[in-house]
Structure 1
Amino acid sequence: MALEDALARELLEAHPDAAAAVLERLPVGEVAALLDAAPAEVVAAVLRHMATPSAVACLGRLAPERGAAALAALPLDTAAVLVRRLEREAQEPLLAALPPAAAAPLAALLRYPERTAGAVMDPRVLALPEDLSVEEALAHVQRTPQHVLYYLYVVGRARGLVGVLNLRELMLAHAAAPLGAVMRSATARLGVRDGLQAVVAHPGWRGLHALPVVDEAGVFVGAVRYETMRRLAADADRPPRIEGPLGTLLGLGELCWIGLAGVVEQLASARARPAPGGSAEERRDR
């Protein structure tokens, strides 16, 4: 089955959205067996394009280590949505299998109600004390560039949000100056319990690539990325089904895809079918 394996993986990697639509029609056990053999990044891409109930069902059938690897490859807010919907007995081993670097930020999102700014923010965004020098701040940025979202947020020693700089402003500032002397006031912000409609409609998006999130006491807890806001807006405003000639044309395209997707269906069924010597799950456990 080497050729079928390679072809199925290619289809999953190149067309995760279409593959997800096909796999949703199959029994969850067959889908889980197929995804169990795919790389974590491919599993994450397919789960991201599945309807949430189908994605949750598949995630719950994967071995905790495999499910945890897929969660770590998903956008943080998407991972939180899926974990929230798992049964507790499936949640606990999955979270326990996550590495600390992925478990801690995910736990931060799960503390807040679903469909709020706190549930979709990135809690790993860098924020530094206002009495730190520009030189020290640049050293922090260089050590953790993946946690800098266009801006450096500035906080008081009690973690209250007091200001912001973009990276250009930070690099041009005098090295010995404290951040509090070169920052701008961070007037645009989201409350941690603001609903998603308020997040999407916030006027700050007209000129900013990210918005800081604060709790009820004004303490900085994270930031929402512009890309996250766009995804939320797209999910809330999906276009209606297209009718007429264009809809027919798209339907023909779907039929072409279904011909290719038959390979995926057949491979999923074959992987889920017990082989001589026991089931796929039993052989993995040996």
Structure 2
Amino acid sequence: MTPDSSPIAASLNRYFLLNFPAEAARQIESFAAADVLPSLLEQDAAVLVPVWSKLVPLVAATLTRQLPADMARQLLADIPPGDAVRILFQLPAGPRTALLETLGPATRQELEQLMSYPEDSAGRLMDTRIPTYRGSMTVQEALDSLRRAKMKTARSLYLVDEEGRIIERVLLQELALADPASRLQELARPVRATVQATASREEVLETFSRYVLLDLPVVDIDGVLLGV
């Protein structure tokens, strides 16, 4: 990828960014921000989302500050929250606050909450964009919800009570094979382990190892599911 604004270069850049985000990130990092920025500005923000999550935070922060406000806002809103927080922490307080103020209330609140957790804590590391489900939902309803949420990495669905407390889980592989009319509570299994948002990275890794987990729910002191 070279800093070239021709239509052909823009087309190649789009393909490269969408299909090889990690490789694209490494190339972007090899250029000065001023040189690579014109090529990036030719792309839609949606094209840059996969790449922004692969950039080292300092490079991502430097580029984000130079993007048009709408583009920067969309990127911060669409990349995983943990990645957005790591980028924001690379910025001085003034620009960081200015970027946060461009975001919608829900996204801003989510990022500010994550930024309040200690570095390397479960709260900082978790993915908060995890849909929750009721045991009374049908398999078909859950599958439709998953498709709308575009969840790509979930291995379990988490069932919660009326207060949002985690109570059980459903394995995604079992969900896919179940009768669409079945209720989630019929497929539910116990939740093997949880950690609180303030748990350290070491505690998280120890819990993963002890219970041989693929994902680990993060809860508050009342057992309310915050993320995974």
What is residue 99 of structure 2 aligned with on the other side? 94
Identity %: 24
What is residue 35 of structure 1 aligned with on the other side? 40
Cα offset for 1:31? 3.1
1:73-108 per-position Cα deviation (integer Å, ceiling 9, x unaligned):
423321221123223332344334445675554444
**Distance in 2 between residues matched to 1:7 and 1:147, nearest whole Å:** 26
TM-score with structure 2 length normalisation?
0.72
What is residue 141 of structure 1 aligned with on the other side? 142
The total of aligned residue pairs comes to: 216
| Higher mean C-alpha deviation, range 75-84 or range 24-33 | 24-33
**Distance in 2 between residues matched to 1:153 and 1:9, nearest whole Å:** 36
Cα offset for 1:66? 0.8
Task: Please tell me whether residue 217 in structure 1 is matched to residue 222 in structure 2.
Answer: yes
User: Which structure: greater helix fraction?
Assistant: 1
**Distance in 2 between residues matched to 1:108 and 1:139, nearest whole Å:** 33
Distance 1:124 1:22, change over 3 A: closer
Question: SS state of the match for residue 53, structure 1?
Answer: helix
Q: Which amino acid aligns with 2:99?
A: L
Please point out which of 50, 55, 63 is paired with 1:50.
55
Distance 1:142 1:28, change over 3 A: same
Distance 1:83 1:214, change over 3 A: same
**Distance in 1 between residues matched to 2:12 and 2:164, nearest whole Å:** 51
For structure 1, the residue ranges without an aligned partner over 5 or more in a row are: 224-286
Please point out which of 123, 132, 146 is paired with 1:127.
132
Distance 1:172 1:8, change over 3 A: closer
Matched-pair contact (CA < 8 Å) for 1:212–1:220: yes
Q: Which amino acid aligns with 2:41?
A: D
Question: SS state of the match for residue 89, structure 2?
Answer: helix
Larger Rg: 1
Matched-pair contact (CA < 8 Å) for 1:65–1:94: no
Q: Which has the higher contact order (CA 8 A, sep 6+)?
A: 1
Distance 1:38 1:161, change over 3 A: same
Matched-pair contact (CA < 8 Å) for 2:117–2:123: yes
Please point out which of 130, 145, 155 is paired with 1:150.
155
For structure 2, the residue ranges without an aligned partner over 5 or more in a row are: 1-5
Question: SS state of the match for residue 38, structure 2?
Answer: helix
What is residue 3 of structure 2 aligned with on the other side? none
What is residue 60 of structure 1 aligned with on the other side? 65
**Distance in 2 between residues matched to 1:156 and 1:11, nearest whole Å:** 44
Matched-pair contact (CA < 8 Å) for 1:125–1:147: no
